[in-house]
Amino acid sequence: MATILDEEQAQAAPPVRMEISDGLAVIRLNDPARPVNVISEGLLREMGDLLDRLENGEGGVRAAVIISEKKGTWIAGADIEEFKNFQGPADAEAASRAGQELLNRIERLRIPVVAAIDGAALGGGLETALACTYRIATDSPKTKLGLPEVQLGIIPGAGGTARLPRLIGLRGALDLMLTGKQLDARRALKAGIVDEVVPAPILLEVAGRQAMALAARKLQPRAARPSGSPDRVENLLPMKRLIFSKARQGVMSKTHGLYPAPLRLLKVVERGIDKSVDEALDLEAKAFGELAVTPEARSLVHVFFTSTAAKNDPGLETPAKANPIDQVAIVGAGFMGAGIAATSAEAGIRVRLKDVKPEAAAKGLRTARESLAKRAKRKKMKRFQVTALTDRVQPTTEYTGFHASDIVVEAVFEDLDLKHRVIKEIEDAAGEGVVLGSNTSTIPITKLAEASARPDHVIGLHFFSPVEKMPLVEIITHAGTADWVTATAHGYAKKIGKTPIVVHDAPGFYVNRILSPYMAEAALLLQEGVRMEDIDRAMTDWGFPVGPITLYDEVGLDVAQKAGKIMAAAFSDRMGNPPTVVDRMVEDGRLGRKNGKGFYTFDGDGKKGGPDEAVYALIGNPSKKEMPKAEIQERLGLVMVNEAVRTLEEGVLRSARDGDVGAVFGIGFPPFRGGPFWFVDTEGAQSVLERLRALEARYGKRFAPAARLEEMARDKRRFFEDGDA
Ligand code: 3HC
């Protein structure tokens, strides 16, 4: 009963409170109804009321501090949930103007306002800080500042496009806004975004002191620069032109013009930079309004919510307690093992990295430590911090230290017998309560568990290469995996900063299962005489980061051959025999980037060149065929989408949500298309069904639509209900 009352009381508590003492107003943010502070309609209202009081000179207030009581966040930006309510550009523009107006009022207060930032200040959060007179951030690892709006298909809409370039200069501001990158406090200080960095425990004290010093004019805020940037050279017209033209080129080469937000951002800043702040804000609000309701923005918001949900929910029927992970052991110090080691160490986990031979363990250690040192350098860590970090990885050729591990990840060669032996050895060396994770990409987890004395501890932990960069971990359960094991594996993936999806065991799991027919179709197109570069360009123009032929070279032809055969054997009834192209390549000793010989040429430094024309002779010189780009995209795009729907219908996937997250984060399925399931919803199940039927009529069973798709079309259903991202 007490808990219920507490909850009710919590719901009733206001998201903003103001305490006044000795002329200092401390504005505390803590929305009890939300996990993070966001600029919602409610918060705007409450803040508006407080500003009324300050504008009316309440209680002799001479200065104010804005601080958060939420652990880990200051303000996480505008309430993205509310974006779903935008019916058209006018609604979104009005929301932007409401935010701008509130922040203008903060900026125009007669008293100084200090932003006391501990935790994330992102999007509208950073924009709030920019409207303050002075910004102090803590050195806590949770403190990060950035304008990530482009990642949601929009631009900053609460004054960021006007205030940031005026504060820190054009180049720095464009870089932050175009990439959405997030800076820790020290880098934000260096960039000129914050004025001071302090340890968290003294934040309020310092902020209060500085606020009063500003009020007494003993401390000067940064000079206001109504138009232009602090860097005089940047203000020269030719320089400005150059900056914008370079930025535009950069955006085009990165996005192929498929994302409207960064291009619009450049226009807004270019037009607004020499105008008054009010005029710049007007341009910003209009652009925000138009962008927020584009299909691209809707898809990217979907990706945000689905990936956050996947991160926060292991998808268990009955919740289970995860074991904490402080120490991990990795067997197999190859490229993947070293990557897993580095990523774990970076998250504060101690790592034992084992290989059979001392040279192999040493090589893995070197790879992991180099990777850690590189990342530490980027974060500008001190030498002793780098040493402490790299020392977290310890090499071994024995199973020493395994008994203290909370989780063991085997990342040895893809061979069932070898893996069985390793599992037995791990079980002999490790403690009773250890989780046994396998980084296999092709071997069924059910088969691996057969060798185990504790099969309920066995789970798949499929990382993607390069581990440090790829955000996805596919967690694969077999029928006997214990729920606490799944919860622990999920917690581990989250702890090391990955986005996990939990799937059931089946050939190819989820990611490789949907990738496989896509890759096979690309090989078939080659056999039909379509040029490699045409296939690749069609798919990068569709939004993939690289085309499938390039991807063959990157993953390795031998690896692709093995995976292709497993999938063809599992689904031979509809997939038929795998295309022979890959076999011919492997026979010719072409393994892709790793041996500098693939579909494309590679120079001595491993730099990729053009298509290797000799490949066509290898595959029987098919007569060259011009195929419209749209046709290539239709075949490759739909074969993947259809396979994704099949995995849901077969129960490999637990939800369409996981399917979208896995495709976007594991394969690079175009984020602005939201993932295969969001794609079906956007295009309409009926349309996708008809297009697949047309392809089936022309090319055969491999395009036969999934039964679930037929049902969805018949019942006019969507995978995600309206408003459900
Ligand atoms: N709006 C609505 N909900 C949000 C939110 C936001 N801006 N930010 C986070 N949340 C929600 C998440 O969906 C999640 O909800 P759940 O518990 O129901 O799953 C919850 O808050 C906690 O989020 P995380 O699990 O991600 O918590 P972390 O501690 O791992 O990370 C964070 C916190 C760094 C703030 C991360 O949530 C984040 O990056 N949020 C988005 C930041 C962002 O993109 N801001 C820009 C918004 S757009 C904007 O501001 C427009 C403006 O210019 C007008």
| pLDDT on residue 227 | 61
- Which tokens belong to 398? 């024995």
Residue 37 C-alpha to ligand 1 middle, in angstroms? Answer: 9
Residue nearest to atom 12 of ligand 1 (CA): 308
Residue type, 290: E
Residue 422 pLDDT: 95
Query: The tokens of 537 are what?
Result: 């360009």
36-54 mean pLDDT:
95
Residue nearest to atom 10 of ligand 1 (CA): 36
Handedness of CA 431, 436, 437, 440 (dihedral sign): positive
Q: Is the CB of 79 under 6 A from ligand 1?
A: yes
**Residue 578, both tokens:** 């795998």
pLDDT higher than 50, residue 4:
no
How far is ligand 1, taken at its centre, from the CA of residue 35, in Å?
Answer: 9
Q: Average pLDDT in the 65-89 region? A: 96
pLDDT of residue 542: 97
Amino acid identity for residue 614 in this structure: A
Residue 8 confidence (pLDDT) above 60: no
DSSP code, position 217: T
Ligand 1: does its nearest atom lie under 6 Å from the Cβ of 36? Answer: yes
Specify the higher pLDDT residue, 607 or 226.
607
- Cis preceding linkage at 466, omega within 30: yes
pLDDT tens string 602-634: 998 889 999 999 999 998 888 899 999 999 999
Atom of ligand 1 nearest to the CA of 151: 44
Residue 671 CB less than 6 A away from ligand 1 = no
Cα-to-centroid distance, 656 and ligand 1 (Å): 21
State residue 58's pLDDT score. 85
What integer is the mean pLDDT of 248-264? Answer: 95
Query: How, if at all, do strands 145-146 and 120-122 pair?
Result: parallel
Catalytic pick among 290, 427, 474, 643? 474
What mean pLDDT do residues 218-242 have? Answer: 79
Give the Cα separation of 445 and 4 in Å (integer).
43
Looking from the CA of residue 147, the nearest atom of ligand 1 is: 46
Distances (CA, A) of 201 to 68, 140, 205, 233: 13, 10, 8, 40
| DSSP string across 16-71 | EEEEEETTEEEEEE--TTSSS--B-HHHHHHHHHHHHHHHTTGGG--EEEEEE-ST
Q: Give CA–CA dist 410/500, Å, rounded.
A: 18
Is the CB–ligand 1 distance for residue 289 below 6 Å? no
Q: Ligand 1: which atom is nearest the Cα of residue 148? A: 44
d(CA 466, CA 653): 24
- Is residue 355 within 6 Å of ligand 1 at its C-beta? no
3-class DSSP state of 362: helix
pLDDT mean across residues, the chain = 93
281 lines ligand 1 (CB under 6 A): no
Count of H helices and E strands in the chain? 31, 19
Please confirm, yes or no, whether 474 is among the known catalytic residues: yes
Residue 723, pLDDT > 90, answer: no
Ligand 1 atom closest to the Cα of residue 125 is 50
SS3 520: helix
| pLDDT at 226 (0 to 100) | 58
- Rounded average pLDDT over 424-434: 93
Share of the chain above pLDDT 70, in %: 97
Beta strands in 472-530, from DSSP E residues, in sequence order: 472-477, 499-504
291 lines ligand 1 (CB under 6 A): no
Instruction: State both tokens at 405.
Output: 């591990």
Q: Which residue in 38, 45, 47, 39 sits closest to 16, CA to CA? A: 47
Residue 532 DSSP symbol:
H
301 lines ligand 1 (CB under 6 A): no
Q: Are strands 16-21 and 24-29 parallel, antiparallel or unpaired?
A: antiparallel
Cα distances from 416 to residues 170, 269, 453, in angstroms, run: 56, 57, 16
pLDDT at 3 over 50: no
What pLDDT score does 5 carry?
38
Answer yes or no: are the C-beta atoms of 229 and 170 closer than 8 Å: yes
126 CA → ligand 1 middle, Å: 13
Per-residue pLDDT, averaged over 393-408, amounts to: 94
Rounded to whole angstroms, the Cα distance separating 202 from 212 reads 16
Residue 204: CB within 6 Å of ligand 1? no
* Between 220 and 502, the higher pLDDT residue: 502
| Euclidean distance between CA atoms 375 and 395, whole angstroms | 20
Mean pLDDT of 153-175: 96
Helical residues (DSSP H) of 225-334, grouped into ranges: 232-235, 237-255, 260-272, 277-292, 295-312
- Report residue 600: phi and psi, to 5°: -105, 165
Angstrom distance (rounded) from CA 713 to CA 394: 55
Each residue's pLDDT tens digit, 549-581:
999 999 999 989 988 888 888 888 888 777 899
Matching residue, tokens 């609460």: 158
Rounded CA separation 227/276 (Å): 7
Read off the pLDDT of residues 466-516 as tens digits, 9 standing for 90 and up: 999 999 999 999 999 999 999 999 999 999 999 999 999 999 999 999 999
Is the Cα dihedral 324, 330, 335, 336 positive or negative? negative
Q: From the CA of 76, how far away is ligand 1's center (Å)?
A: 5
Q: What is the mean pLDDT of residues 381-407?
A: 89
From the CB of 485, is ligand 1 less than 6 Å away? no
Q: Is the CB of 173 inside a 6 Å radius of any atom of ligand 1?
A: no
**Backbone torsions φ then ψ of 663, nearest 5 degrees:** -70, -40
Cα 125 to ligand 1 centre (Å) = 11
**Predicted pLDDT of residue 382:** 76
The structure's pTM equals 0.94
pLDDT at 19 over 50: yes
d(CA 130, CA 134): 8
Q: Give yes or no for residue 148 CB within 6 A of ligand 1.
A: yes
User: Rounded distance, CA 289 to CA 90, Å?
Assistant: 6
- Answer whether 326's CB lies under 8 Å from 367's CB: no
Pocket of ligand 1 contains residue 507 by CB under 6 Å: no
For residue 719, the one-letter residue type is: F
Query: CB within 8 A of 544, min separation 6: which ones?
Result: 667, 668, 669, 670
The residue contributing the CA closest to ligand 1 atom 24 is 308
Reply yes or no on whether the pLDDT at 660 is more than 70: yes
Is the Cβ atom of 123 under 6 angstroms away from ligand 1? yes
**What H or E segment, with its residue span, contains residue 125?**
helix 124-131
Q: What is the pLDDT of residue 225?
A: 63
| DSSP state letter for 150 | G
Closest by CA to 612, choosing from 518, 501, 526, 491, is 526
Q: What percent of the chain has pLDDT over 90?
A: 84
Per-residue pLDDT averaged across 586-600, rounded? 95
String of b and e for 319-351 (b: at least 16 CB within 10 Å)?
A: eeebbebebbbbbbbbbbbbbbbbbbbbbebbb
Residue 1's pLDDT band (boundaries 50, 70, 90)?
A: very low
Q: Which of 103, 308, 724 to mutate to test the pocket of ligand 1 (most atoms within 8 A of CB)?
A: 308
Pocket of ligand 1, candidates 30, 80, 288: which has the most ligand atoms within 8 Å of its Cβ, to mutate? 80
Contacts 24+ apart (CB under 8 A), 228-235: 228/166, 228/273, 228/274, 229/165, 229/166, 229/168, 229/169, 229/170, 229/173, 229/273, 230/167, 230/168, 230/169, 230/192, 231/169, 231/170, 231/171, 234/169, 234/170, 234/171
pLDDT tens track for 101-146 = 999 999 999 999 999 999 999 999 999 999 999 999 999 999 999 9
Q: Which atom of ligand 1 is nearest to the CA of 309?
A: 19
Report how far ligand 1's centroid is from the alpha carbon of 147 (Å). Answer: 12
249 Cβ partners below 8 Å, 6+ apart? Answer: none
pLDDT of 595 > 80? The answer is yes
Bridge partners (DSSP) listed for residue 67 = 28, 116
DSSP 617-640: HHTT-PPPB---HHHHHHHHHHHH
Instruction: Tell me, in angstroms, the distance from the centre of ligand 1 to residue 678's CA.
Output: 20
Rounded to whole angstroms, the Cα distance separating 170 from 185 reads 20
> What amino acid is encoded at 248 in this protein?
R
Report the alpha-carbon distance of residue 360 to residue 354 in Å, rounded.
Answer: 9
- Return all residues near 260 (Cβ < 8 A) that are at least 6 apart: 153, 291, 294, 296
| C-alpha separations of 557 from 519, 527, 620 in Å | 11, 16, 18
Q: What is the helix (H) or strand (E) element at residue 602, kind and residue range?
A: strand 600-602
Residue nearest to atom 8 of ligand 1 (CA): 76
Helices 260-272, 160-168: crossing angle, 10 deg rounding = 60
User: Whose C-alpha lies nearest to ligand 1, atom 17?
Assistant: 35
Residue range 28-48: mean pLDDT, rounded: 94
Give the per-residue pLDDT at 229: 65
